[in-house]
């Protein structure tokens, strides 16, 4: 592993569409630095979305705000 790999920050954000009883989706976020785990969380989205692509956009929006504050 080269030293440049220690400076790579990777965020993975994903959504599961309509998995809760009230049809809300679920978001998950994983943050790594140089291959080492930093933080992760998973939470129910606060709004209902019509298409699954909209659930992905909500997930990215919520996740980006949380990553910047992580």
Number of domains comprising the chain = 1
**Distance (Å, whole) CA 49 – CA 37:** 30
Residue 70 has pLDDT above 80, yes or no: no
Per the rule left: phi > 0, alpha: psi between -120 and 50, beta: everything else, 23 is left
- Residue 4 has a pLDDT of 56
Query: Residues 1-55: pLDDT tens digits?
Result: 455 567 888 999 999 999 999 989 999 999 998 889 999 999 999 999 999 999 9
Domain extent for 22: 3-69
Mean pLDDT of 47-70: 88
């Amino acid at each position: 592993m080269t030293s440049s790999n220690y400076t790579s920050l990777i965020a993975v954000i994903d959504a599961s569409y309509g998995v809760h009883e009230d049809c809300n989706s679920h978001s998950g976020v994983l943050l790594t630095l140089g291959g080492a785990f930093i933080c992760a969380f998973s939470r129910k989205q606060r709004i209902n979305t019509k298409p699954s692509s909209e659930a992905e956009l909500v997930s990215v929006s919520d996740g980006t705000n949380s990553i910047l504050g992580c």
